[in-house]
Amino acid sequence: MIKLPIYFDNAATTPVDKRVLEKMTPYFTEIFGNPNSQHVFGRESVKAVDNARDTIAGIINAKPNEIYFTSGGTEGDNWALRGVANAYKDRGKHIIISPIEHAAMIETAKALVKEGFTVDFMKVDGEGFVDLEHLKSIIRDDTIFVGCMMANNEVGTIEPIKEIAAIAHEKNAVCFTDAVQAAGVLDIDVKDLGVDLMSMSSHKIYGPKGVGALYIRNGLRISSIIAGGHQERMKRGGTTNVAGVVGFSEAFKIANEEREKNFNYVSSLRNHFIDRVINEVPFVKLNGPDKDKRDKYRLPANADFSFRYIEGESILFSLDLAGIAVSSGSACSSGSLEPSHVLLALGLPEGLAHGSIRFSFGKHNTMEEVDYAVDEIKKAVERLRAMSPLFKIEGDKKYV
Amino acid sequence: MAKTVVVGLSGGVDSSVAALLLKEQGYNVIGLYMNNWEEQDECGHCTGEEDWGDVRRVANKIGIPYYSVNFAKEYMDRVFSYFLKEYNAGRTPNPDVLCNREIKFKDFKEKAFELGAEYIATGHYCDILHEDGKHYLLKAKDQNKDQTYFLNQLSQSQLNKVLFPLGKLEKSEVRAIAEKNGLATAKKKDSTGICFIGERNFRNFLQTYIPAKRGQIKTYDGKVLGEHLGLMYYTIGQRRGLNIGGQKGDDGSRWFVIEKDLKNNILYVAHGEEDRLYSDGLIASTINWIPEVPTKKEFDCTAKFRYRQPEQKCRVKITGDTVYVEFYEKQRAITEGQFAVFYQGEKCIGGGVIEKAIFKK
């Protein structure tokens, strides 16, 4: 008997690994000192923070003093873009980002436009891959920032960050990558990639929520966005979230050690899922990289489908009632009309963008769960299509 | 297996208790919150967020799943555009009636059935009788709260598969049930006025959508008494807010609006005897009958010409798509754009939009 509910929304967040929780526990009650304090309690805490910084730096081939702890991906994105814009505005006010960035980037960019910066978007193709030639054609002498996520949260596309960084550096622009979905899943070497900044988050890799890190290459100028005490080498005020940082580093360490195993296992679930859906559900579109690129160019956990003639929201609700948790577009609490900006950037018509569902698998999922979900999806889709006037008009025709 | 019912949760006490009662009756209850109006207030807060927060608290307390859907586009296209059109035409529309016909008992209902609902339910104060394949709309036990007025435009297919759990309850009982069960909305203030305007200043709101054209306030003798701020802000019979105080009529009585001349942008006022506000009948269009068109084309019934009004005795004459309503007692300030809603005993038998008042010489 299968245990419900089933969690297929691992790109939204993941459960904390028990080993991570165990590492964190003492830092709430026993080792509680402020890491900035000059006494034994403080020293015990700062030791844990130092260890965490060393661990994380080691995994991405950075130096410990290039790791700045944050409250998570959104803060990292905000800080990278705003901090660079502020520090480099004398050199130029031109910013380039991809159109499929997280809202944390897009909204920060919009705010900067109001402050006199110019923002251009690099083109992506129908699978979500950045068009490098287009990037070369829009980058200018006054471009100060080029930002692109390493892997997209919605459709899973893995971007050519090394090439993007090279193009940025030719024009002396700072290159940033949002690795929130990629860190802990892909093998990352910041020196090899050549990026100047990289944001990471803990809760996507079985760590606690509310903590993450920004890699800032030594020598890069960046302004602070959170003024306060002397924490994080005076660049980010606020008492360090010691337990969180410990949890993040443990989660990252485990993710790194088990990366290949998890990658292969989660991929196998995902591939089985994609194959079954494509074969068994009519009128579906796999969004993001094509099926034959999924093993190299798509996050192993990700499958994003549009179900023609039905709204993604309706499938989401139906699957939830059947005990399967998935995501439609980006999560919004009280309901949003806007179709996913990512799918629109990929050139999907609004109807298909509205009908999209993201399934994201994790290491705790099983093949039985995947099969159960596919069976439920078939039922839900068939039931909803039977109620869809659009399907009655167009769908029947295509069946003939 | 328990029947599934989807309840429209608004974040108010009425729909909260409706959901609770259905759950207690053994239904498989799902809550659905509608976001029909996307706007931020002066402080940048999303106006619906507080209600959505209450929906979450209530649904969690009752122990039901809940979702949120967005019909802002549909509301804009089918309700708000009508609202503006009517104001532009110098009438006083009732968007809440339209919201029920165009959104709650249409898109919302469709969404509910997608969720597997066998019934939908709302926290309206009214009752429903499903009998012999027909659906009768009945007045609420709480006559002060009866909301059949707002549901007069619902077709039979819209009333099909609908439950109104509050029909036999007084408002005070509803609040008591909410309190006893610890629902977060137990003491929440009732919403007043038009939902998307809320507590805001009506004139300021309207002004952002319809440019106000100032003009003269005149008497029928041609005497100019002052300036009006835009005809849309006034309704027939209105006494307050004319700002021509101190110019009382010869007999010391107050001025009131008697006519809105849209063509010349003049607001006509009169004072003293209100005779000219009292009409003998009205013509209504966009008629909906519940459960069906009456077989007799002429009959006696009672009617309301605005929400807060006791029923008035009248005679209805059906002629094609419109009805002529003859009053037994003259009615004050019949307002174009509001609805005339008809009753026979406990049944609401339909209604239509008031096109104009009829004055016999």
- CATH 3.40.640.10 domain locations along chain A: 18-257
d(CA B47, CA B196): 9
Chain B interface disruption, residue of A317, A328, A350, A390, most B CBs within 10 A: A317
Closest chain A residue to B117, measured at CA: A318
DSSP state of B282: E
Q: Which fold has domain B4-180?
A: Rossmann fold (3.40.50)
**Matching CATH number, A18-257, of 3.40.640.10, 3.30.1330.10, 3.90.1150.170, 3.60.15.10:** 3.40.640.10
Q: Do A313 and B113 touch (CB under 8 A)?
A: no
Q: State the pLDDT at residue B358.
A: 95
Q: State the pLDDT at residue A398.
A: 52
- Give, to the nearest 10 degrees, the angle between helix A259-280 and helix A367-387: 30
Measured in angstroms, the CA of A314 and the nearest CA of chain B are apart by: 7
Reported in sequence order, the residue ranges of B97-252 that DSSP labels E, i.e. its strands, are 119-121, 127-131, 134-138, 162-163, 215-218, 224-228
- 3-class SS of residue A32: coil
CB < 8 Å to B52, chain A = 333-334
**Matching CATH number, B278-358, of 3.40.30.10, 1.10.3720.10, 2.40.30.10, 1.25.40.10:** 2.40.30.10
Among all chains, which residue has been given the structure tokens 């990278």?
A80
Residue A229, judged by CB atoms within 10 A of its CB (0-12, 13-18, 19+), counts as: middle
Helices assigned H by DSSP within A103-160: 103-114, 132-138
User: What is A6-15+259-388's CATH number?
Assistant: 3.90.1150.10
Could you say which residues from 277 to 316 on chain A have a Cβ atom under 8 Å away from some Cβ of chain B? 313-314
Count Cα neighbours of A131 within 13 Å in the Cβ-side half-sphere: 13
d(CA B23, CA B40): 34
Nearest to A334 among B30, B52, B110 (CB): B52
Q: How many CB atoms lie within 10 A of CB A107?
A: 15
**Matching CATH number, B214-273, of 2.30.30.280, 3.40.50.740, 1.10.760.10, 3.40.50.300:** 2.30.30.280
CB < 8 Å to A333, chain B = 49, 52, 68
Residues of chain A with pLDDT under 50: 330-334, 399-400
Q: Do A320 and B72 touch (CB under 8 A)?
A: no
Nearest to A387 among B46, B52, B113 (CB): B113
Q: State the pLDDT at residue B269.
A: 92
Q: Do A318 and B114 touch (CB under 8 A)?
A: yes
DSSP state of B332: E
Mean pLDDT per block of 10 residues along chain B (361 residues) reads 95 97 98 86 67 95 95 93 93 95 96 95 97 96 95 98 97 97 94 76 86 92 92 89 70 83 93 86 97 96 95 95 96 95 97 95 69
Three-class HEC string of B168-196: CCCHHHHHHHHHHCCCCCCCCCCCCCCCC
Measured in angstroms, the CA of A313 and the nearest CA of chain B are apart by: 8
Q: Which ipTM did the prediction report?
A: 0.85
d(CA B253, CA A312): 63
Could you say which residues from 27 to 86 on chain B have a Cβ atom under 8 Å away from some Cβ of chain A? 30, 33, 35, 38, 46, 48-49, 52, 65, 67-70, 72-73
Measured in angstroms, the CA of A195 and the nearest CA of chain B are apart by: 36
Could you list the active site residues of A? 332
How is residue B277 written in tokens?
A: 């506000």
Q: Do A314 and B111 touch (CB under 8 A)?
A: yes
The yes-or-no answer to whether B4-180 and B278-358 have a common fold is no
- CATH 3.90.1150.10 domain locations along chain A: 6-15+259-388
Q: Output the CA angle A390-A393-A394, nearest 5 degrees.
A: 85
> Tell me, what amino acid is at A349?
P
d(CA A256, CA A264): 13
d(CA A168, CA B129): 70
Could you list the active site residues of B? 99, 195
d(CA B307, CA B340): 9
Three-class HEC string of B134-150: EEEEECCCCCCCCCHHH
Q: State the pLDDT at residue A331.
A: 45
d(CA A119, CA A101): 13
For chain B, the structural domain boundaries read 4-180, 214-273, 278-358
